[in-house]
Amino acid sequence: MSFDTTEHNRRRYCFDGVESVWLFGYGSLIYKVDFPFLEQRPASIEGWARRFWQGSHDHRGTLESPGRVVTLIESPATCCKGMAYRVSPDVFSHLDVREKNGYLRFVTPMIFTDGTREDGLVYIATEDNAAFLGPAEDAEIANQISNAQGPSGRNSDYLLKLATALRTLGDDDPHVFALESYLR
Ligand code: SIN
């Protein structure tokens, strides 16, 4: 798959006649909300783990020196907490560009904190995308993050803001918090 998934995502779903769609954010979409929304609710999805396994060439790194940002990896016993936003479908024309470095939209069941459920769309960078980096030792990942920066700023800010946002959500994500400790 090419680096730029914008066109691929645009062809993926037809929003004709749809007034609003739930979006599930688990990374920068939790703390950098640069899009309008109709409603916002903490939510979680089951069977997925957040990992700093995706390369970033366009936001938190460059082609020569990619940063690392989060994607979701299938993990049966894991629950990933995040933020759900109910948005107008036209918001995806902005989000598809923002998430273009390897992320595709998938439908996921979401569980709100009161136990109710809705389906939402989630951006996942799968292993077959050209920017995927995969696992590494925590120290190596933290080192790469501490050295990278791109048009959206320092890669370390992405990690630190995410860790703070997860704490606010009451999440305990050992992967993110271990990387945060290395960085600090
Ligand atoms: C997300 O936040 O849900 C997707 C990954 C990212 O933009 O950091």
CA pair distance 21, 89, nearest whole angstrom? 6
Question: Cα(first)–Cα(last) distance of the chain, in Å?
Answer: 35
Flag whether 177 is in a domain: yes
Per-residue pLDDT of the chain (184 residues; tens, 9 = 90+): 557 888 888 877 777 788 999 999 999 999 999 999 999 999 999 999 999 999 999 889 999 999 999 999 999 999 999 999 999 999 999 999 999 899 999 999 999 999 999 999 999 999 999 999 999 999 999 999 999 999 999 999 999 999 999 999 999 999 999 999 999 8
By annotation, the residues acting in catalysis are: 99
Pairing of strands 67-87, 117-125: unpaired
Flag whether 93 is in a domain: yes
Flag whether 20 is in a domain: yes
Flag whether 157 is in a domain: yes
- Predicted local distance difference test score (pLDDT) of residue 30: 98
Question: Do the Cβ atoms of 56 and 150 come closer than 8 Å?
Answer: yes
Predicted TM-score (pTM) of this structure: 0.94
| Ligand 1 atom closest to 29 (CA) | 2
Q: How many CB atoms lie within 10 A of CB 144?
A: 19
- Quote the domain boundaries for residue 109: 6-183
Whether ligand 1 lies within 6 angstroms of the CB of 70 is answered as: yes
Closest residue by Cα to atom 7, ligand 1, is: 28
- Predicted local distance difference test score (pLDDT) of residue 9: 80
Whether ligand 1 lies within 6 angstroms of the CB of 25 is answered as: yes
Flag whether 10 is in a domain: yes
H helix runs in 61-117, sequence order? 91-98
- Predicted local distance difference test score (pLDDT) of residue 2: 59
- Predicted local distance difference test score (pLDDT) of residue 48: 97
- Predicted local distance difference test score (pLDDT) of residue 8: 83
CATH number for position 141:
3.10.490.10
| Ligand 1 atom closest to 162 (CA) | 8
Whether ligand 1 lies within 6 angstroms of the CB of 102 is answered as: no
H helix runs in the chain, sequence order? 6-10, 28-31, 91-98, 138-147, 155-168, 174-183
The number of domains in the chain is 1
Flag whether 1 is in a domain: no
Closest residue by Cα to atom 5, ligand 1, is: 27
Flag whether 145 is in a domain: yes
